[in-house]
């Protein structure tokens, strides 16, 4: 019966909303319904915000039900932007109608800015000051971020250019916020020992588009602690750790009781949950991200140690981090409290090696060398983070030449946030930006800072300053957009068009064309190094700029390319920079690329019709 009432009422509401006349036919019937039924109808999800606005203007009863801070507008906000509800407390007073308006305005502003990026920055990397419009936006930043996420979640094969720039903007915004949080964290006194919090900041900065939070990671660790407590209860049902409440920082002094906790931890972590050191894929950045360590249940010594340390301390065992060379360890004090201790009064724990407990001699055997007593000492949070970022820095330097060096860039940012005057790292950062051809103004700022810190770097600094200034001058001299017409006589040998999915005959990789030249436009050195002269047509043939499925960008000779008879999407981070949509057989160029190759799209349609339609007919 209730369902029938609701259904009939739902039919009345839109009509009332349109007419907005108090004497309309069904109004008295509707407004006489119980308040909870009316509220249920208005919150059912079938009415838009505009509908609610019109309904609320029909009479006092409906206006009161649709008050700005009430359930109806809260539901409108929740249905439209569900991910934002976590930012509101159930006990707070919220003007939901006003929040709706502010969020709607932020969304329009976000889309306006994203739409402008392709036109402004198609020919260059987004400069440092390119995000200034975003930083000056009014309204909550979370609203702007939420709209960017909505853009990224649009239907998979469309709006690729919007997604490309939305991702860049979101990456920038979140990294700036995380970096500020990390800098504030580093200002804490030395006795502030939240190692996990610091590690999560590193994780977040390197993975800004992932939903990573200290709260979620702590919740996962708490669930492991519960399992340890269950095992511990079987060892000693009256163990004091079992009485600890969440958030307590009590420590157990008795060695035997501490030992029971560690035994229970080792069983749960390594036997029950199967955590282990990642010996097979040691040099993988995922081993350093705490959320990945918990998901994959593997890591390297420092990340495994931080997990082990966090669990032990929650259960009252005061383990401490040891910045041991080549292999991060934890130490467990065996001496009496207040006594004068040396390195032999500790047992050293190898969390990477299933919690194995080591003596000093065994530690040296582990790394194959004798070390001084100082290296067995405890280190503070900043030193632990320095080592984690140092590991990421080393991994970043190992990236291939065709990659974006994003890990190296991120780890340099993190290291310099902790130690801003490291001359060699500043110089590496300047060289990296120069090599990538991005942010020349920032390169000059870095070089000026290096010269102030260490005038002895004048040679390296002078070279980079000179070439960076030349780069800036060349950019100023660039005029207009080069338009390439297929119909032009000098382009008569060009067989393929932008947007086509191709396959390399020799190397077998799949790629998409995003540019072409009638002949090879690279310098003599590149032509010699790539052995272009050995090709039957040498460098006197069309060459194509292609985005390859492995993330690289290459310059391929026409004779080495062929149509891919089974076209597929190309997983390359820069696809959206050049293309707006993948149709299933080819990519459609965005407005900026089409300006440069105005006749290619028609050629693509002809090729697709001839190649893929014919293939489909043959299959039938």
pLDDT tens digits for range 514-563: 999 999 999 999 999 999 999 999 999 999 999 999 888 999 999 999 99
**DSSP per residue over 120-182, as a string?**
HHTTSPPPGGGGHHHHT--S-HHHHHHHHHHHHTS-TTS-HHHHHHHHHHHHHHHHHHHHHHH
Cβ-contact 35, 65 below 8 angstroms? yes
Q: Is 138 left (phi over 0), alpha (psi -120 to 50) or beta?
A: beta
pLDDT tens, 87-137?
A: 999 888 999 999 999 999 999 999 999 999 888 888 777 766 667 777 777
Is a pLDDT exceeding 60 seen at residue 26? Answer: no
Read off the pLDDT of residues 578-595 as tens digits, 9 standing for 90 and up: 999 999 999 999 999 999
Where is pLDDT greater, at 345 or 127?
345
pLDDT of residue 182: 95
Using DSSP's 3-state secondary structure scheme, residue 330 falls into strand
Q: pLDDT of 176-224, one tens digit each?
A: 999 999 999 999 887 677 999 999 999 999 999 999 999 999 999 999 9
How far is Cα 170 from Cα 143, in angstroms, rounded to an integer? 12
- Look-up: residue for tokens 């020992």? 193
Give residue-wise pLDDT tens across range 526-540.
Answer: 999 999 999 999 999
Q: What is the mean pLDDT of residues 60-88?
A: 91
Query: In angstroms, what CA-CA distances link 289 with 6, 171, 302?
Result: 51, 17, 11
The CATH-assigned architecture of domain 387-478 is Alpha Horseshoe (1.25)
Percent of the chain that is helix, strand, coil (3-state, to 5): 60, 10, 35
Are 408 and 432 a contacting pair, CB within 8 Å?
yes
CB 443 within 8 A of CB 433: yes
Domain borders along the chain are: 98-187, 225-381, 387-478, 489-613
Question: Is the Cβ–Cβ distance between 553 and 547 less than 8 Å?
Answer: yes
H/E element, 104: helix 96-121
Which of these CATH numbers, 2.30.30.390, 1.10.10.60, 1.10.287.1080, 3.40.50.720, describes 489-613? 2.30.30.390
Provide the token pair at 377: 């000492």
Q: What are phi and psi of 539, to 5 degrees?
A: -95, 0
Strand ranges (E), 425-495: none
593 φ, ψ to 5°?
Answer: -70, -35
Distance CA 228, CA 453 (A): 51
- CA pair distance 405, 402, nearest whole angstrom: 9
User: Which of 193, 230, 247 is closest to 381 using CA atoms?
Assistant: 193
Q: How much of the chain, in percent, has pLDDT values that exceed 70?
A: 90
């Amino acid at each position: 019966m209730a369902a029938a009432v609701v259904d009939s009422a739902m039919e009345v509401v839109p009509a009332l909303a349109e007419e907005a006349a108090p004497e309309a036919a069904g109004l008295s019937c509707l407004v006489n319904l119980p308040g909870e039924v009316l509220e249920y109808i208005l919150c059912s999800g079938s009415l838009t915000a505009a509908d609610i606005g019109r309904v609320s203007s029909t009479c006092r009863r409906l206006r009161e039900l649709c008050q700005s801070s009430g359930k109806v507008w809260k539901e409108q906000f929740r249905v439209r932007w569900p991910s934002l509800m976590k930012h509101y407390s159930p006990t707070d007073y919220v003007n939901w109608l006003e929040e709706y308006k502010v969020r709607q305005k932020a969304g329009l502003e976000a889309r306006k800015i994203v739409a402008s990026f392709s036109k402004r920055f198609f020919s260059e990397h987004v400069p440092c000051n390119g995000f200034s419009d975003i930083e000056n936006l009014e309204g909550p930043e979370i609203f702007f971020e939420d709209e960017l996420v909505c853009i990224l979640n649009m239907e998979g094969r469309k709006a690729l250019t919007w997604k490309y720039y939305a991702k860049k903007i979101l990456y920038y915004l979140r990294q700036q916020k995380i970096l500020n949080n990390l800098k504030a964290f580093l200002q804490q006194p030395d006795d502030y020992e939240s190692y996990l919090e610091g590690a999560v900041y590193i994780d977040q900065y390197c993975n800004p588009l992932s939903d990573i939070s200290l709260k979620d990671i702590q919740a996962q660790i708490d669930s492991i602690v519960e399992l340890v407590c269950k095992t511990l209860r079987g060892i000693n049902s009256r163990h004091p750790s079992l009485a600890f409440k969440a958030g307590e920082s009590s420590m157990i002094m008795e060695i035997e009781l501490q030992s029971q906790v560690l035994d229970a931890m080792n069983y749960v972590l390594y036997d029950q949950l199967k955590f282990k050191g990642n010996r097979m894929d040691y040099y993988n950045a995922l081993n350093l991200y705490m959320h990945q360590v918990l998901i994959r249940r593997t890591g390297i010594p420092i990340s495994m140690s931080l997990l082990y340390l966090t669990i032990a301390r929650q259960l009252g065992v005061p383990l401490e981090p040891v910045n041991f060379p080549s292999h991060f360890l934890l130490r467990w004090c065996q001496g009496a409290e207040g006594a004068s201790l040396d390195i032999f009064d500790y047992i050293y724990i190898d969390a990477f090696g299933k919690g194995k407990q080591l003596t000093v001699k065994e530690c040296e055997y582990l790394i194959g060398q004798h070390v001084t007593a100082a290296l067995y000492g405890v280190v503070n949070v900043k030193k632990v983070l320095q080592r984690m970022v140092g590991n990421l820095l080393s991994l970043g330097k190992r990236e291939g030449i065709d990659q974006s060096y994003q890990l190296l860039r991120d780890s340099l940012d993190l290291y310099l946030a902790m130690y801003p005057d490291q001359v060699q790292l500043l110089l590496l950062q300047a060289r990296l930006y120069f090599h990538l051809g991005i942010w020349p103004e920032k390169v000059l700022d870095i070089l000026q800072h290096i010269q102030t810190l260490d005038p002895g770097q004048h040679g390296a600094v002078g070279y980079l300053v000179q070439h960076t200034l030349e780069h800036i001058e060349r950019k100023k001299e660039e005029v207009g957009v080069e338009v390439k017409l297929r119909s032009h006589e000098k382009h008569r040998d060009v067989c393929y068009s932008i947007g086509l999915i191709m396959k390399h005959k020799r190397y077998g990789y799949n790629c998409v064309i995003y540019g072409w030249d009638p002949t090879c436009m690279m310098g003599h050195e590149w032509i010699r190094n790539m052995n272009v002269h050995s090709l039957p047509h040498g460098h006197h043939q069309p060459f194509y700029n292609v985005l390859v499925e492995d993330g690289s960008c290459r310059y391929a000779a026409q004779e080495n390319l062929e149509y891919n008879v089974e076209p597929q999407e190309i997983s390359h981070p820069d696809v959206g920079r050049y293309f707006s949509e993948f149709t299933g057989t080819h990519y459609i160029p965005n407005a900026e690329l089409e300006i440069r190759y105005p006749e290619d799209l028609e050629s693509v349609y002809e090729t697709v019709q001839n190649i893929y339609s014919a293939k489909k007919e043959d299959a039938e």
